[in-house]
Amino acid sequence: MKIKEIMTRSPVTIEADRTIRDASIIMAQMKLGCLMVSRGKEIVGILEESNIIRNGLAEDLNPFNTRIAQVMSAPWIIDEECSDDEASQMMGQYHVRHLAVTSKTKIAGIISMLDLIRPIYSGKSFWA
């Protein structure tokens, strides 16, 4: 299956100069595992829950004044025409749960581990 068939289009973004507290609130309210990080219209990174824990809280950084740019990761990028197997392999190789998806060199969406397994378990009650 091609990534473009299962990816999330229009991922939620946040500015790099916002705090990790701001990001945490958005992620909790929207039930998201990550946010794309931007500077203006340019995507400059990705902020996963693990970034906040490992690079922020575990380093004893104050979430109220630590900027997202200090803890985010560079996004791992995959083309929308790649397969779900390629995405799964890439996530495993780099130990990440989300990949930025491109279409003709522009960010077109995001794919998560959940997106990869959802077709396998579609119809199960725990997706509700």
Closest CA to 49 of 103, 107, 97, 101: 97
The more confident residue out of 79 and 123 is 79
Alpha-carbon distance of 120 to 122, in angstroms, equals: 6
Question: Alpha helices, DSSP H only, in 31-112?
Answer: 49-51, 68-71, 84-94
The alpha carbon of residue 84 and the mean position of all alpha carbons in its chain are separated, in whole angstroms, by 16
Report the amino acid identity of residue 106: K
pLDDT of residue 124: 52
pTM, to two decimals: 0.82
Report the amino acid identity of residue 12: V
Q: State pLDDT tens for residues 58-114.
A: 999 999 999 999 999 998 999 999 999 999 999 999 999 999 999 888 889 999 998
Q: For position 57, which CATH number holds?
A: 3.10.580.10
Q: How confident is the model at residue 122 (pLDDT cuts 50, 70, 90)?
A: low
Q: How confident is the model at residue 126 (pLDDT cuts 50, 70, 90)?
A: very low
Enclosing domain of residue 47:
3-127
Q: What are phi and psi of 34, to 5 degrees?
A: -160, 165
Domain count, the chain: 1
pLDDT of residue 128: 47
pLDDT of residue 127: 45
